[in-house]
A and B are shown apart, each in its own frame.
Chain A
């Protein structure tokens, strides 16, 4: 956003502004002109004034103290007790009233002044030293000020001019000049605007001296020029140089300083040429010719693209229009004849060119031309600059020319008075609305409910009724808008199952004692090559950032895994264990479309799970924790099983992890990180990871069915099954379920045993079966029947036996 610096004293030249810099800034800020900060020497000096010692007498009860009566304007007088000896009656001094915040003269802190009795006499405020005002370290005596300063002015205004640093909105090019800010302030404070008055230039320039042409009317709407001779190039006056510096520009010499000064004042950039260097006495706005090049003022030789608008003389381009001048036609110490250019350009073209040249921000001119400046500024700025050249460079105005082939019509905005309450929700009295508009220089005609408004020419941002409503609202104050709770029709909500599920999962995982993390979604692409032992990718090639802030944030992560590995590794440097999870989208590129943003859960466990206490033994996270946590989460949210086949999990321990697909998508991955990968991330070899695709999870969530507590008792049977090593527990489980049908209520695995009690190459699963019928108490015979059916099936299908 464009930023301008507005020295307060300069601003006051155009408006009788009331109040301190802070009050002025507040008034501007609250009406929409954003004051970013106030720069001033010594920091804030609220409640500190220029005062005069009206009288001075001895303190009746103390030899070393004096009573000073201070006059600080508008009939205000206060008596203060002071120990200073360097003041006499009539001195002009800084006076701080009660409430002022000052540095402590005897220490480093800050104090807020309160009324204080000193040896029986009430001291109301203080006359200040330089140190108390934070102007220096001097606390030897009171700071004596220039006697010509106006008594009663805020000290901040009198001593060192404060500068308002204003961030402009791109729709307000009229505020790119200090006069524009003054116009706003005048409207806000209901006070007079004092625009610099300049005589119009006579449009009688001899074509032989200077011919002005617009060849590209799309790029250049208006081209004004003035011809001046008898110029003496030299330094500009001190006050002008000071103002330029305060506003952030470097003084060069009077001709350039004046064009800059007028640009700062009115917002309209100008350019001064040495008229004698213009070939063919011509200035023309045209497109660059094929192969044309130009050495610009920054010393760079630039090849001009053919869509670049240039200002040229009869033979060659002199500068890039609105952005940067050329060296050849520059004003030099010996220049005596000046051609002043002042033009209105098409802002988008300026923007494109400035962006291409990388000069969008650097050039004060292009920062202004990129906005839609009013073409009406052209003759005004030209006349103002010519006048200043006469005053400060001894110039003589020879003549001027104004080429304006298609004058812009003044737009009228038509609205109804009722639009104001319709948009704002509050009735603004008609006279208040009209008053606000006229304070801003808007003209209007009213007829019944109809209002036709003509904004001032400089206001290029006004075109629809809502614009007018906003103008009224910001001048009467947004405080006038009441606070109301909408009472309109309520839309019917839709449910968002994925979001709801995500919140449930989050709450469950937190409930299990895991810490949630949120990490950068843009990662270092080098991370992706560190996710498998051989560097092969575990996820699709990622979306890239074309213009990353750094390599560390240049790819949109296609997996959450590296983010969690990084978080774990950094935290394990100062703690023994981590249990973390993140729920975030991963970005999977799709051809000719936005990427698939798939919400994913990633859990990571590593290191110490339980610490040693007097009640607990230390324990590390192990491979069954991750399965327990994900299983518990699934059970808690009512998720069933994924339906798809299992697959290898790349980047993970091959024997201790796997992926399960669901509808062709990797839905669930869990297990132990490949220890070689763990090593690469400085993580313990035993690092466990779980990843769940949230959409797949949602697909297996089933509504809960109420379960009525059973009326009949259960029968417990503890059985030990001996099977071959190759038989997985899951296989046994499947056979048990198939054999016991719906009489099997639950199974608990009590023990897995390998050893002398069973044959080599075998293992034993000790199980507790809970059998129950919902319709009757099971008899011993029925239980016997089920167990023998189980025994038969396990023998038949798995070759397993029941251990006696």
Chain B
């Protein structure tokens, strides 16, 4: 490039940089690279007059100069546009504290959210969620679970008896299931081991209601049968469940209990979330755990050999565990709801808060 061309280019770039607005910039553009009479444009046109030996070098130098000028033009144009936009944006400021456009929020009921949570956790441990009838035969609710008529364990299950408007069969009593355990029998009747199921569902008892008891409530039942499931597996599954549901915060307790359809039997409890396991709330007996500091979360045990035999399983070959607990209590724990009667009251002010 000749010095002269270099000087020209430099001057053009300087003028571009000095252009304060789009009109000035446009004038600079026309002066140097305008299609009709731009200084550089004319030089390109003049190339033809050069001797052929000089043409390639001069052409290349001109092209470089032209690109340099055009790049500077584009750059300056963008800068001018941005700064004018920026100036305008300053005037477009909003009051950012104004509320946004409202959306309608729907929420799941704590009970169904908790059932979903329970099912998901057990699903992760290989348990499939199934459901069964709420109105049941006495056989499945009691007889098949080693609780024949007159068995004192029936006292634990104050039963609501059902009556069919199309006629009752006196030989076959129908009831509102007092627990989800009848599904243990139905599942075993239908399937062969290995079995791992979780059964959430509504249950019924003839019971006075208070902050921790409802006559209509929800339970979750678990059943696992194979050839070598032991009590340690039961403990592991329930401890894992507790940890996944509540994190490591809650203490867990495992102690002997009695159920006619499991042997050995156990109870799993969490320390009370209302009084933090102290049993005392505001210097009085904690109304949620009745002062014990513990909330019984599930009854459980190894499926009784007699129950296995009744469904045609060989108790010498198959064994496993079952557990059943209250959904309402867990929902209470998860939502800090101290009175489970709130669940069925359906006061939207409460439901929208949890």
A interface, CB within 8 angstroms of B:
1-2, 29-32, 34, 36-37, 109-110, 169-172, 347-348, 351-352, 360, 370-371, 421-426, 464, 466-467, 469-470, 473-474, 478-479, 481-486, 488-491, 493-494, 496, 499, 503, 506, 509-522, 540-549, 553, 556, 567, 570-571, 574-575, 578-580, 583, 585, 587, 589-592, 594-595, 597, 610-611, 613-616
Tell me the smallest distance from the CB of B306 to a CB of chain A, in Å. 8
B contact residues around A579 at 8 Å (CB): 104, 106
Interface check B170, CB cutoff 8 A: no
Distance A352 CA – B172 CA, assembled complex (angstroms) = 18
Complex contact B196–A490 (CB within 8 A)? yes
Which of B17-25, B36-44, B69-77, B155-163 makes up part of the contact surface? B155-163
Q: Is the CB of B108 within 8 A of A516?
A: yes
- Whole-angstrom CA separation of A616 from B104 in the bound complex: 13
**B302 at the A interface (CB under 8 A):** yes
Taking a contact as CB atoms under 8 Å apart, the answer to whether B128 and A494 are in contact is yes
CB distance from A564 to the nearest CB of B (A): 9
On whether the beta carbons of A587 and B135 are closer than 8 Å, the reply is yes
Q: Which residue of B lies closest to A487 (CB)?
A: B233
Listed stretches B58-66, B81-89, B255-263; interface member: B255-263
Please list 10 pairs of residues, one from A and one from B, whose beta carbons are closer than 8 Å in the complex, sorted by A's number. A351-B150, A466-B263, A466-B305, A491-B128, A511-B106, A521-B202, A521-B216, A553-B215, A583-B112, A615-B101
A594 touches B135 (CB 8 A): yes
Q: Shortest CB–CB separation between residue A309 and chain B, in angstroms?
A: 14
Known: A486-B224, A488-B227, A549-B160. 11 other contacts (CB 8 A): A2-B152, A170-B152, A483-B239, A488-B229, A522-B176, A543-B135, A543-B162, A545-B163, A546-B163, A547-B160, A579-B106
Docked pose: A553 CA to B207 CA in angstroms: 12
A510 contacts which chain B residues (CB < 8 A)? Answer: 106-108
Residue on A nearest B290 in the bound complex, by CB: A37
Point out the residues of chain A lying under 8 angstroms from B260, CB to CB: 171
Chain A residues, Cβ within 8 Å of B135: 543, 556, 587, 594-595, 597
B136 on interface, CB distance cutoff 8 Å: yes
Stretch at the interface among B3-11, B46-54, B341-349: B341-349
Query: Which B residues form the contact surface with A (CB < 8 A)?
Result: 98-99, 101-109, 111-112, 116, 125-126, 128-131, 133-137, 150-153, 155-156, 160-167, 169, 174, 176, 191, 193-196, 202, 204, 206-208, 215-216, 224, 226-233, 235-237, 239-240, 254-258, 260, 263-266, 283, 290-292, 302, 304-305, 319, 343-344, 346-349, 351-352
Q: Which of A30, A464, A517, A580 has the most CB of B within 10 A?
A: A517
Q: Are B126 and A490 in contact (CB under 8 A)?
A: yes
Q: Is the CB of A473 within 8 A of B264?
A: yes
Which 6 pairs of residues, A with B, have the shortest CB-CB distance? Answer: A513-B104, A425-B232, A425-B230, A32-B256, A470-B264, A170-B152
Question: A488 contacts B194, CB within 8 Å?
Answer: yes
Q: How far is the CA of A423 from the CA of B193 in the complex (A)?
A: 17
Q: In whole angstroms, what is the CA distance A367 to B84 when docked?
A: 94
Most B CB within 10 A of own CB, among A36, A170, A347: A170
Chain A residues with CB below 8 A from B291, complex form: 37
CB neighbours (8 Å) of A469 from chain B are 264
Kindly provide the distance from the CB of B189 to the nearest chain A CB, expressed in whole angstroms.
Answer: 15
- Complex partner residue of B283 from A110, A488, A541, A567, CB under 8 angstroms: A110
Are A615 and B102 neighbours in the complex by a CB distance under 8 Å? yes
CB pair A423 B255 closer than 8 Å: no
Q: Are A547 and B256 in contact (CB under 8 A)?
A: no
The answer to whether B152 and A548 have CB atoms under 8 Å apart is no
The reply to whether B319 and A491 contact each other, CB–CB distance below 8 Å, is: no
Which residues on B sit within 8 Å (CB–CB) of A590?
Answer: 166
B163 and A515 contacting across the interface, CB-CB below 8 Å: no
- Looking at the assembled complex, report how far the CB atom of B171 sits from the nearest CB atom of chain A, in whole angstroms: 11
**Cα distance A547–B343 in the bound complex, in angstroms:** 24
Find chain A residues with CB under 8 A from B126 CB.
Answer: 486, 490-491
Chain B residues contacting A611 (CB-CB under 8 Å) are 102
Are A483 and B236 touching (Cβ within 8 A)? yes
CA distance A591 to B136 in the complex (A): 14
The CA-CA distance from A172 to B260 in the complex, in Å, is: 12
A37-B291, A484-B233, A510-B107 given; A543·B137 CB < 8 A: no
A481's partner among B116, B130, B254, B349 (CB-CB below 8 A) is B254
Report chain B residues within 8 Å CB of A489. 194, 226
- Min distance, Cβ A621 to any Cβ of chain B, angstroms: 11
Instruction: State whether B264 touches A570 (Cβ < 8 A).
Output: no
Cross-chain contact B343 with A518 (CB below 8 angstroms): yes
- Minimal Cβ-Cβ distance residue in B for A483: B236
CB-defined contacts of A485 to chain B, threshold 8 Å:
125, 233, 236-237, 240
Given A37-B291, A109-B283, A575-B348, the answer on whether A544 and B165 have CB atoms closer than 8 Å is yes
The smallest C-beta distance from A176 to any residue of chain B, in angstroms, reads 11
Cα distance A587–B176 when bound, in Å? 11
- Nearest residue (CB) in B for A511 is B106
**When the two chains form their complex, are residues A490 and B254 in contact, meaning their CB atoms are under 8 A apart?**
no
B166 adjacent to A547 (CB under 8 Å): no
Q: Among B152, B237, B346, point to the contact of A518 (Cβ < 8 A).
A: B346
Q: In the complex, A578→B283 CA distance in Å?
A: 40
Q: Which of A171, A421, A425, A541 contacts B233 (CB 8 A)?
A: A425
Inside 8 A of B156's CB, which chain A residues have their CB?
Answer: 1, 170
CA distance A691 to B275 in the complex (A): 43
Closest to B218 in A: A518
B264 nearest CB neighbor, chain A only:
A470
Q: Which residue of B104, B164, B258 contacts A171 across the interface (Cβ within 8 Å)?
A: B258
User: What's the least CB distance linking B280 to chain A, in Å?
Assistant: 8
Instruction: For residue A422, give the distance in angstroms from its CB to the closest CB of chain B.
Output: 7
Cβ-defined contact, B230 with A424, below 8 A? yes
Q: Are B319 and A422 in contact, CB atoms less than 8 angstroms apart?
A: yes
* Known contacts A567-B346, A590-B166; A493 and B128 CB within 8 A of each other: yes
Q: Decide: A426 near B202, CB < 8 A? Known: A29-B255, A513-B103.
A: no
In the assembled complex, how far is the CB of residue A155 from the closest CB belonging to chain B, in whole angstroms? 18
Do A486 and B231 have beta carbons less than 8 Å apart?
Answer: no
Q: How far is the CA of A360 from the CA of B155 in the complex (A)?
A: 10
CA distance A467 to B230 in the complex (A): 15
Question: Are the C-beta atoms of A591 and B167 separated by less than 8 Å?
Answer: yes
- The answer on a CB contact under 8 Å between A423 and B106 is no
C-alpha gap A143/B352 in the complex (Å): 53
Residue of B nearest to A571 (CB): B348
By a CB distance below 8 angstroms, the chain B residues around A547 are 160-161, 206
Q: Are B128 and A473 in contact (CB under 8 A)?
A: no
Q: Bound state CA distance, A512 and B105, in angstroms?
A: 8
Q: Are B166 and A424 in contact (CB under 8 A)?
A: no
Cross-chain contact B150 with A484 (CB below 8 angstroms): no
CB-nearest residue of chain A relative to B231?
A424
CA distance A169 to B263 in the complex (A): 13
Contact A597:B102 (CB < 8 A) given known A32-B258, A171-B258, A515-B352? no
Nearest CB of B to A722, in Å: 37
Contacting residues, chain A, for B150 (C-beta < 8 A): 347-348, 351-352
Whole-angstrom distance between the Cβ of A60 and the nearest chain B Cβ: 37
Contact B99 A613, beta carbon cutoff 8 Å: yes
Given A589-B165, A616-B102, A488-B235 contact (CB < 8 Å):
no
CB distance from A259 to the nearest CB of B (A): 23
Q: Are A545 and B196 in contact (CB under 8 A)?
A: no
CB distance from A207 to the nearest CB of B (A): 35
Q: Which residue on chain A has the smallest CB distance to residue B160?
A: A545
Q: How far is the CA of A482 from the CA of B231 in the complex (A)?
A: 9
What separation, in Å, do the CA atoms of A348 and B148 have in the docked complex? 10
Name the CB-closest residue of A to B255.
A30
> For residue A489, which residue of chain B has the nearest CB?
B194
User: CB distance A614 to B343 under 8 Å?
Assistant: no
CB distance from B103 to the nearest CB of A (A): 7
Q: Which of B194, B195, B348 contacts A578 (CB 8 A)?
A: B348
The interface residues of chain B lying within 8 Å CB-to-CB of A516 are 106-109, 112, 351
List of A residues within 8 angstroms of B304 by Cβ: 466
What is the CB-to-nearest-CB distance from A12 to chain B, in angstroms, rounded to a whole number?
23
Shortest beta-carbon distance, A173 to chain B, in Å?
A: 9
Please determine whether A591 and B166 come into contact, CB atoms closer than 8 angstroms.
Answer: yes
**Least distance between A131 CB and chain B CB atoms (Å):** 14
